[in-house]
Structure formats: C-alpha cells, structure tokens
C-alpha cells in the first residue's frame, strides 16, 4: 500500500486528481478483504488491487462517472451464483467498494501518511462516509 500513497503524492505534484477505491465491507469468499485499495488514474490505469477480474472491471467503469461528478460513491457487488460461475472469477461473496475522488488540495494529508510509513510508524487515516442527503 506504500506505493499507492507515494503515487498519490506524485500525481498531486503534477496537479492531477485520483480516485481511491477501497473495499469497505466483504462477506463470503470475496477476493480481497476490507481495507484493500486500488488507486485509479484519469487515464484508467491503476495501482493496487481490490480483487481483479470482473470486480475491478466494474469499478473502473463506474470510476469514469466519478471523474465527471466529483462525488464519492459506494458500490455493492454480489459475486455469487451463476453470475460468478459464468465468468473468470474464482471467488464469490459480497463486496462493497467506496470510490472517493481525491484532489491535490489535500496533498498535505498524504505527505504525512508517506512520512509516517517511511518511519515505519503507525497511524490511522479516517474517512467519514455519510449516506443520505447532506
């Protein structure tokens, strides 16, 4: 995950935004556990993994809309039954992914994260997720 945060800083230094995809809930034999992250760049390339296969393809497709709207979104995936058996997915289960657009205005936060990781120290980065009207 260290590479993801360093890549965020690099892109922020070029005045580019990114989208962070984070697994926030999982059940069953989901491909990745809570906290798995994938950084999505504007060109559609990415760093990290939230599970591969159809799951990541769907997240990348949804991310295109996030670039236009600049609003976070929670996606729910039901990787079970026939829809999994007809694809290359080897895992099943249910997964929720939080897509969060990040902009260079918050680079100080991620600079601190990289600094803490370089010192092999510990810290907590918290994102509050509000559902419903604001």
Per-residue model confidence as pLDDT tens digits over 113-123: 999 999 999 98
More confident: 41 or 1: 41
pLDDT tens digits, one per residue of 6-28: 999 999 999 999 999 999 998 87
More confident: 2 or 85: 2
The percent of the chain in helix, strand and coil, each rounded to the nearest 5, is 35, 25, 40
Return the pLDDT at 93. Answer: 80
Judge whether 31 and 56 are in contact, CB under 8 Å.
Answer: no
Q: Write down the pTM of the prediction.
A: 0.84
State percent of the chain over pLDDT 90.
Answer: 59
Q: Please tell me the distance from the alpha carbon of residue 100 to that of residue 73, in angstroms, as a whole number.
A: 7
Return the pLDDT at 91. Answer: 63
Interior angle at CA 125, CA 27 and CA 111, nearest 5: 135
Q: Please tell me the distance from the alpha carbon of residue 40 to that of residue 18, in angstroms, as a whole number.
A: 6
- Whether the pLDDT of residue 85 is over 70: the answer is no
Return the pLDDT at 129. Answer: 80
Q: Please tell me the distance from the alpha carbon of residue 133 to that of residue 65, in angstroms, as a whole number.
A: 20
Return the pLDDT at 37. Answer: 95
């Amino acid at each position: 995950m260290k590479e993801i945060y360093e890549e965020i800083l690099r892109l922020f230094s070029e005045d580019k935004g990114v989208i962070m995809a984070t697994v926030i809930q999982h059940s069953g034999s989901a491909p990745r556990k809570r906290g798995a992250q994938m950084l999505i760049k504007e060109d559609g390339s990415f760093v990290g993994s939230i599970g591969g296969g159809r799951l990541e393809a769907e997240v990348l497709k949804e991310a295109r809309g996030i670039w236009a709207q600049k609003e976070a979104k929670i996606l729910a995936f039901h990787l079970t039954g026939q829809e999994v058996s007809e694809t290359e997915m080897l895992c099943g289960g249910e997964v929720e992914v939080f897509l969060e657009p990040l902009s260079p205005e918050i680079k100080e936060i991620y600079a601190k994260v990289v600094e803490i990781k370089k010192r092999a120290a510990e810290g907590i980065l918290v994102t509050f997720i509000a559902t419903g009207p604001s």
